[in-house]
Amino acid sequence: MTETANVTTDRAEPDPADASGGALGDVSHNLNGQRLGRKGRGTRERILAACVDVLAESDVPISMSAVARRAALGMTSLYNYFSDLTELLLAVLEPVMATAEESYLAMLRERWPDDGLGERAYAFMSAYHDFWARNSRLLHLRNTMADTRDERMMIHRVSSTQPLIGLFVTQMGGSGDEMMSPLRGMATVLMTGIERTVTVSTDTGLTSLFGERERRQPDHYMVPEARLIELAIADTRARVARGEFG
């Protein structure tokens, strides 16, 4: 079950009077090119918080108009800061992805011992699942929009997996910088399975579609996927040791 994005099309012209704002992160100007001050910073933060609130309510379709209502702003004001739903969601994704390092990436940076591959793989899958579970609707929505050929969401989805793929290549005994190596192909396929696994295990829409009795516990998916990671790394390490990859 996937999330459907409702994008309003009644875009209003920006009102310069609404743009006396401030920066959030490296954002220093609104879409009119006006420099943001304190008021603009507060408005932008309010929009982002409203978007997070709407995402937290699974029964509320996500759209620019829904966010504007939650932020108690007119559409004109909203479009002063974000040109469309994709741009708004990417801004919400930014702090979420900033937690990736501590959530799961750091676990891959230390070489997993051969005799502990299974435990490390399961720990990683559990951590990656927890990250997705915390941000389920946002990540599912990103992937759905990417699947419908939203170019910016496609770029974000692919970019977010590249560090993982490179680290899996390193775990396998290769160099994460070699983009065309057979090991990277193996890691990419492995990562595809990992993402699909957490996508299915965190999709609450499946419960409403098939019923609570059909809902599986996370380990129903995490344990076999961790086993596949273990086998892939062990096999590739052995092949690297035998010099099969030149």
Which tokens belong to 201?
A: 């295990």
Q: Percentage of the chain surpassing pLDDT 90? A: 71
Most confident of 26-30, 98-102, 241-245: 98-102
Average pLDDT over residues 79-107: 97
Average pLDDT over residues 165-175: 96
> To the nearest whole number, what is the mean pLDDT of the chain?
86
Which tokens belong to 108?
A: 């891959």
pTM: 0.83
Which tokens belong to 32?
A: 């009119």
Residue ranges of domains in the chain, CATH in brackets: 16-84 (1.10.10), 99-241 (no CATH)
CA–CA distance, 224 with 239 (Å, rounded to integer)? 23
Q: Residue 205 pLDDT more than 60? A: yes
pLDDT in tens, 105-158: 999 999 999 999 999 999 999 999 999 999 999 999 999 999 999 999 999 999
pLDDT in tens, 44-66: 999 999 999 999 997 889 999 99
- The three-class DSSP label of residue 26 is coil
Strand partners, 57: none
Region of poorest pLDDT, from 70-79, 119-128, 197-206: 197-206
Which tokens belong to 4?
A: 């459907």
CA–CA distance, 185 with 162 (Å, rounded to integer)? 12
